[in-house]
Amino acid sequence: MFNSFLQEIESELKKGCSEFGHPFKTLTLATLDKNQLPQQRIVVLRKINSELKLTFFTDLRSKKVTQIKNNEQVSAHFYHMEKKLQLVFRATAQLEQDEESVQNLWQQVRIRNQKDYTTNLAPGSIIQQPDNIEYLNQQNYFGVVHLIPQKIEYLKLNQPQHLRILFKKKESYWNGQFLVP
């Protein structure tokens, strides 16, 4: 019964990776800072696998990386306005440690986008003018983060009745439970 909803989740997320302008191309990622206060930002979904592991790229000097190292439990939020579909992932964030994998993904980043990972100063650093950003020639701070979901909340806003499902990962399969919307 729940498989069709899981297939819809996977299908829409794959479209987010491949279709220009798809609402699931970006997600809101929430982490906790050193004071245990939530911090949110938009990241770009780059890959999803059959186990619903999500992948995005980041500058390794960003605050989100420090926050993930301090607490790997994160939340990711997607919303598709036309389909009135909301997904909330509760996940464990993992930095990719395999240098060869990171290098392979780095080669796939468009040249014009590679500069985003080569600024002289870390993201969020104070600068005097926005056009005074310096870039490194031989070094980059490109990183890859994977989100391994443990729970997914699915909410479809329908008329006359909304549909809400909580999926929990148990070993290699997902259990679903209907919730009051």
Helix count (H) and strand count (E) of the chain?
Answer: 4, 9
pLDDT of residue 132: 85
pLDDT of residue 1: 82
pLDDT of residue 18: 94
The domain ranges of the chain are 3-122+132-179
Q: What architecture is the 3-122+132-179 domain classified under in CATH?
A: Roll (2.30)
CA 85 centroid distance within chain: 17
- DSSP letter assigned to residue 93: E
CA distances (Å), 148 to each of 34, 129, 181, in order? 22, 38, 25
pLDDT of residue 40: 98
pLDDT of residue 153: 98
Low-confidence ranges of the chain (pLDDT < 50): none
Per-residue model confidence as pLDDT tens digits over 90-115: 999 999 999 999 999 999 999 999 99
Q: Pull the structure tokens for residue 7.
A: 């297939």
Distance, in Å, from the CA atom of 99 to the CA atom of 38, rounded to the nearest integer, reads 30
Q: Tell the burial category of 10 from Cβ atoms under 10 Å away from its Cβ (0-12, 13-18, 19+).
A: middle
Distance, in Å, from the CA atom of 118 to the CA atom of 95, rounded to the nearest integer, reads 18
Can you name the residues that pair with 157 across neighbouring β-strands? none
- Whole-structure pTM value: 0.94
Give the other-Cβ count within 10 Å of 21's Cβ: 6
Specify the 3-state DSSP secondary structure of 25.
helix
Distance, in Å, from the CA atom of 148 to the CA atom of 88, rounded to the nearest integer, reads 13
